[in-house]
Amino acid sequence: MKIGIIGAMDEELIPIRALASHLEKIERGNRTYWHGDMYGHQVYLTRCDPGKVNAVIATQQMLDFFEPDALFNMGSSGALSPDLEVGDLVIATDAIQHDFDLTGWGLKPGEILFDVITQKENGQLNFTSRHAFGTDSKLTELAFESAKSVSLDEIGGHAPKVYKGRLVSGDQFISSVEKAGQLWNTHQALAVDMEAAAIAHTCEINKVPFLCLRAMSDKADHSANVSFTDFLIAATHNYGRVFDKLIQELGK
């Protein structure tokens, strides 16, 4: 199996790269890729940088250059659900672009338009729409079971738990409790980030299975007393272990 892996920052990909053998560096345009072998699978990794446009460009380039059979996104997210603690893992079931707003047209927050055509007869718009973009159900379930079967390091004295659920993404860093509460109430999303929904959208358009695994870097109420550096070291090792278990299970 050929797997593409995208993270917003290099630091989020280091534990995954460390699992690969015969690692080689590939330069394409302004982007750096890493290629290696893992348990008989070919993996390609790259950094996209934060934000939806950056994520879409990196995803489409990955799909065009290397034609992976599936694409994985890993990294950090901010917790929206009050049940989540720093270090908890979320395996995404679907994702919504929370900052896409056509509510003035009667659509739901985050609902996106496709196939927009103006009717010649009356000048009215015809379109289809999509609210959420799903992840691959088989990969998601396999990742969830893999995450529950491995030992995860404590972060700030908390033993991480594993959840499945919705993510929301937008070109905004969510720093206020009020905004986090609004996103939770509107979408019932477990966590918020800046890339996952855009990557899910791109993968669906290209008919490529998508998996997303996120570690919580902060809580919705910002009460966690864990530095981002300390979190990142422990969290990336945790989802590195999950990925190691998952890729061993693929194809069994």
List the catalytic residue out of 10, 11, 12, 99.
Answer: 12
Going from the C-alpha of 9 to that of each of 15, 74, 102, 250, the distances in angstroms are: 12, 10, 31, 25
Residue corresponding to tokens 């982007």: 31
For this structure, is 145 an active site residue? no
Cβ-proximal residues to 185 (8 Å cutoff; 6+ apart), any chain: none
Nearest Cα neighbor of 40 from 85, 67, 1 is: 1
Going from the C-alpha of 68 to that of each of 6, 60, 149, 213, the distances in angstroms are: 12, 11, 26, 18
What's the first-to-final CA gap in the chain, in angstroms?
12
Cβ-proximal residues to 35 (8 Å cutoff; 6+ apart), any chain: 23, 24, 26, 42, 43, 44, 45, 66
SS3 per residue for 134-153: ECCHHHHHHHHHHHHHCCCC
Cα–Cα distance measured from residue 44 to residue 248, given in angstroms and rounded to the nearest whole number:
16
List the catalytic residue out of 153, 218, 230, 249.
Answer: 218
For this structure, is 49 an active site residue? no
Task: Count the helix, strand and coil residues of the chain and give each as a percent rounded to the nearest 5.
Answer: 35, 35, 35
**Residues belonging to the active site:** 12, 218
